[in-house]
Chain A
C-alpha cells in the first residue's frame, strides 16, 4: 500500500516539475530508457549531470573571481552545461543557460554574475526536486524488491 502512496507522491512531484518547467519531454525519454536491464539509468544520468554541473559551477566561480574575466571560457562552460541540461531535460536550467549566453555578448561582468546566479538558483531548485524524486524512486524500488 505504501508503494502506491509513494508512487502517487512521485507522480504528483513529477507533474509539478513539468508544470513549473523544470523538466521537459526529454526527461520523459530518459525515463523511457530505464528498464529492467538498466534499472538505475535515470539516477545515474542525474547524478552525472549534477556532478558535472557542480564541477562547472566551481570552475565558473574561479573564473569570475579573477580580476580579468575570460568570457570566452565562461561561454564554453555554459555551453557544456547547456548541452548536458538539454540532454537531461532540465528545461529551466537550459533556458537560463541560453539567457546567460546572450548576456555574455555584452561582456559585462555584473550582468554575467547576475545570470550565473539565475542559473545556479534554477539548478539548485531542480536538484532539490530531483533528489526528492530519486529518493522516492529508490524507496519504490526497495518496496518492489521486498514484494518480490
Chain B
C-alpha cells in the first residue's frame, strides 16, 4: 500500500514537473512568436515609410527637373522669337547673359545655359567674320572642318568659358544635338564629369527652330528647320544634395540615382559608388526627366538598419510574465486542490471512524446498561431476600438504603438507555390501539401509594369526552411521558393537587382563544386579586401557575362539550376525513415551581432546576429531556408555565390516529380489565363545593354509566332530591348513591344526613335509602364517620369506584359473558399439552394446576424458580409455562431470563453446530411460551414481563376468558406440530 502510494506520488511529481517544463517552453515560444511578429510589423512599417519617402524624393526631383526643362524650353522660344524672327536680332550676348542670370532662380538645377547656333560649313567663314572669333573645339583648338558646327554664341556668365566652343565637337554633346533636333524635344546626355566643377552631371539640349513647325513635321523637316541648340548642364549631385537637404529624415536615407538607359550597365548619377548602408531593405522609384530615350531610377535605403522597436521586447516579456503568473496560479490552485482533496479524504476517514465510534458507543452503552441491569437485579433480589431474614434495626436500615439506591440506579440506567436509543434513532414509536383512559388510570394507580404517604395532595385525571375511546399510538411511551411528568409533580409538590387533563387540541384552542386575550391583558391585575383570596378555583383550591386551567376556563370546555352531545365519542363530523387526532395533555401541580433562571434549561439532559433542589429532592433530571424527545417523536411539542412557589403546568401535544371499525373492538377485548357495565343508568348525587373536582368525579362516574348531579352543599342536594320527588316521582329514578367530598363533610353532617334520609324513607318519599360514600384522600378517615357506607380513596379511578360500588350495593360481580364455546376451545387448545406451573404458594399452585388440568393439560408443578429451571433443562417436553412473578430466591422475571438464556444458547449451538434432526422439522428453534401470573394488574409489571422475555400475562385467580386470550395468542399458531415434541 505504502509502496503503491509512493509510486503514485512519484508519478504525480514527474507529471507535475513535465507540466511545468511544458508550460515554460510554451510561454517562451509565445514570447518568441510575439517578438518576431512585432518585428515584422515594424519592418513592414519601415518599408512603407521608405517607399513613401523614396517616392516623395523622386517626385520632387522630377518636378524640379521638369520646371527647369520647361524654362529652358521657354528660353529656346525666346531665342527663336527675338533672335531669328526679328531683323536685326533683338538679342546679343549681353542681353542673353543678363536675362539668363536674372531668370536663373527659375532653373535652380542648371549651372548655366548657353545657346549654340547651327552653322553649316559653307557659312563658317561668314559666321566667323560676323562674330569676330573662330570656332573652336572643346579642347580649345580651332575647329577642323566639319559639315556643320554648333558654336556657342550666347552663354550665361556662369558658363562663359564655353563661348565659341563647338558643341558638335564633344562626343556627348554632338549626340545630344543630333537627337534633340530629330525629336524636337529636350534630351539628356549620359552622366559625366562636368567641366570645371568636376561634379557628375548631365547636359540638357533643346533644339531651336527657325519658324513654327507644323505638329506633324517629319524628322527631315525638323533637321532642316533647326536654327541652333540651347543647352544647359544639370549638376545632378548638388541638385540632389540640395533637394534632399530640404526634406525631413534625410540623414536616415541613402539615395542613389542611376541612369539605366543601358539596363545591363547602370550609370551612377548620384550617391556613393559602392552602395553602403542597410542593403536588405531598398526601394527603387522610376524618374522621368522628360527624355524618352533615357531612363533613370532612384534607389533608396536606410542608412542604418532600422532599430528593433522596444515594444518587440517589452510586450512579449509582459505576456511571458503573465503566462508565468497564470501558470503559477494554476499550479498553486492545483496543489491546493490536491491538498484539499487529500484533507477531505482524511476527513472522510475520520468521519467513518467517528461514526463507527458513535455506533460503538451506543452499542457499548446498550450492552453495558443491560449488563449492569442484570447483576443489579441480582443485587436487588438479594437485598429483598436479605430484608426477609432476621435483621436488627441497623442492618435493616442499611439494607433498605442499599435497596433504594439500587432501584434508583436501575431507573437511571433505564433512562440513560432510553436516551441513548432515542439519540441513535433506534427508538420506534409503536402504533397499536389503546385506551387512553385506562392508561391514565394505570398511571394514577402507580402513584396512589406514594400519594397516600403525603396525604395532602390530590391527584386527579380528567379526559374530555371528545377524545375517542380507543386511539392508535404507543401506549407505553405515552404512559412514560405522563408517568414522568406526574412523577416530577409528585416529587416537587407538598400540598395542593396534581391534575392531569386531556383535551382535543382544536377544541381546547377554540375555548382558550376566546379567553386568552383577556387573560394576557389582565394578567397582573388578576394575579393581585387572586393572591388576596385564599381559595382559588382550581382542583384543590390552591393557586396554580397556569390559570388557564382554573374553573372559569374549565367550565367553558365542559359547557362546550355538553352543548354538542353528538360530538362525543368517535363521531366528530368535522374531523371524519382526517384520522389524526391531536391531543393536548396538561399536568398541573401546585409544587415549588421552577426558578425563572432555570426555566430555559429544563429540557436539557441531567439538568435539574438547581443544585439545591437536587439535594432536596434527588433525581437526575434526564426524565424531562426523554419526555421531550418522546413527545417530538410522537409529532407533538412540550412546554410549560411555571411560577416559583406557585406551581408548574406542563403541557404537551401528541398526534395519535383514530382507530376504526374492528380495531376498536379488538382493542377493547385486549384490555386487561374492562369496566363493568352493571352501573349503567344509575343515578347519583355528588356533594362537592369545588366545581373542578366535581367535574373530575363526574367524569369517572360517567365512564361507569352513572349519571351525576353535582350539588355544592348538603342543603342543595336535599333540595334536589326533594324537588325531584315532589314533582314527578314516577319516571325519574331516585338517586341510589350520594357521594360526599370530604372537604364538604362538616361536623354534625352525618347525623343530619342520616336523620333526613331515614325520615324520607319512612315518609315513602324514598323507596330505598341511598348509600353514602365519602371521597377522601387519606385512609384514616375510614373509621371516623358513622353514617358512611364506605370510603373511596383518592386518587379516583373508574375501576376503584366500580369496586367500591359493587361492595356497597352488594352486587355480585356480574358473570362475564362467556366466549362462544370458550371452554371447549380452551380444551381444544390445551388438551394433551405439557404445561409447567411455577408458584411458591402451594394453594395457588394447586388451584392453577387444577384449572389447567380441567382443560385436559398435563400439568407439572414447580415450587420455585430454580425448580422450574431444573425441569426446563433442554431438551424438555413442555409446551408452555405459567410463572408466578413474586417468588423467593428466584422470581419469575429472573427465571424467565435464565430460560431465554438457555434457549438462545441452544439455538446458537444448533445453528453453528450443523443441523440436528430437530432443526429440520423446526426452524424457529427453542422458544418456550412463558406466561406471567400476577395479582398486580398495573401496566408497569406488564412491561417488565415483556422486557425479560415473557410472552403473556395472566392475572392470578385464573379467569377463563383471560386464560383463553393469553393462551390463544401463541398456542393457536403452533397447535399441530407441538404434540410431536
Contacts and interface: CB of A to CB of B under 8 A. Distances in A.
Interface of A: 24-26, 29-30, 32-33, 35, 37-38, 41, 44-45, 48-49, 52, 68, 70, 72-73, 76, 79-80, 83-84, 86-89, 102
A76 B388 contact: yes
A70 B400 CA distance: 13
B763 to A, nearest CB: 30
Interface string B358-395: 00000000000000000000000000000110111100
B847 A45 contact: yes
B357 interface: no
B957 A87 contact: yes
Contacts of B672: none
Contacts of B846: 44-45, 48
A45 B843 contact: yes
B355 interface: no
Contacts of B387: 72
26 contacts: A24-B813, A26-B957, A32-B854, A33-B850, A33-B853, A33-B854, A35-B854, A44-B846, A45-B846, A48-B843, A48-B846, A52-B842, A70-B390, A70-B391, A72-B387, A79-B886, A80-B840, A80-B841, A83-B843, A83-B844, A83-B935, A84-B841, A86-B957, A87-B841, A87-B957, A102-B779
B817 to A, nearest CB: 14
B352 to A, nearest CB: 55
**Chain A to chain B: the 4 pairs with minimum beta-carbon distance, closest first:** A84-B843, A87-B847, A33-B850, A87-B844
Contact of B843 (A29, A35, A41, A52): A52
A91 to B, nearest CB: 10
B850 A48 contact: no
Contact of A83 (B392, B850, B854, B956): B956
B215 to A, nearest CB: 164
A49 B854 CA distance: 20
B851 interface: yes
B152 to A, nearest CB: 172
A68 B392 contact: yes
A98 to B, nearest CB: 11
Nearest to B823: A32
B453 to A, nearest CB: 8
A73 B388 contact: yes
B783 to A, nearest CB: 11
Interface string B188-199: 000000000000
Contacts of A87: 841, 843-844, 847-848, 956-957
Contact of B812 (A25, A30, A38): A25
A30 B854 contact: no
In this complex, the interface size class of chain B, counting residues with CB under 8 Å from chain A, is 20 to 34
Nearest to B780: A106
A26 B844 CA distance: 12
Given A68-B392, A86-B956, A87-B956, A30 B850 contact: yes
A70 B386 CA distance: 12
Contacts of A29: 851, 957-958
Nearest to A32: B854
Contacts of B851: 29, 33
A102 B453 CA distance: 11
A83 B390 CA distance: 23
A48 B957 contact: no
Most A CB atoms within 10 A — which of B396, B840, B842, B886? B842
A88 B935 contact: no
A48 B390 contact: no
Contacts of A68: 392-393
A33 B823 CA distance: 12
A100 B396 CA distance: 22
Interface in B811-844: 812-813, 840-844
B882 to A, nearest CB: 13
Nearest to B393: A68
Contacts of B812: 25
A70 B388 CA distance: 9
A137 to B, nearest CB: 16
Contacts of B393: 68
Contacts of B935: 83, 86
Interface in B948-962: 956-958
Given A33-B853, A80-B840, 19 more contacts: A25-B813, A30-B847, A35-B854, A38-B854, A44-B846, A45-B846, A45-B847, A48-B843, A49-B843, A52-B842, A52-B843, A68-B392, A73-B388, A79-B886, A83-B844, A87-B841, A87-B843, A87-B848, A87-B956
Most A CB atoms within 10 A — which of B393, B841, B848, B886? B841
Interface in B775-795: 779
A49 B841 CA distance: 10
Contact of B850 (A25, A38, A70): A38
A45 B396 CA distance: 36
B390 A41 contact: no
A83 B888 CA distance: 14
Contacts of B388: 72-73, 76
Nearest to B387: A72
Contacts of A84: 841-844
Contacts of A26: 957
A48 B842 contact: yes
Contacts of B844: 83-84, 87
Contacts of B847: 30, 33, 45, 87-88
A52 to B, nearest CB: 5
Contacts of A80: 840-841
Contacts of A35: 854
Contacts of B957: 26, 29, 86-87, 89
B789 to A, nearest CB: 15
Interface string B852-896: 011000000000000000000000000000000010000000000
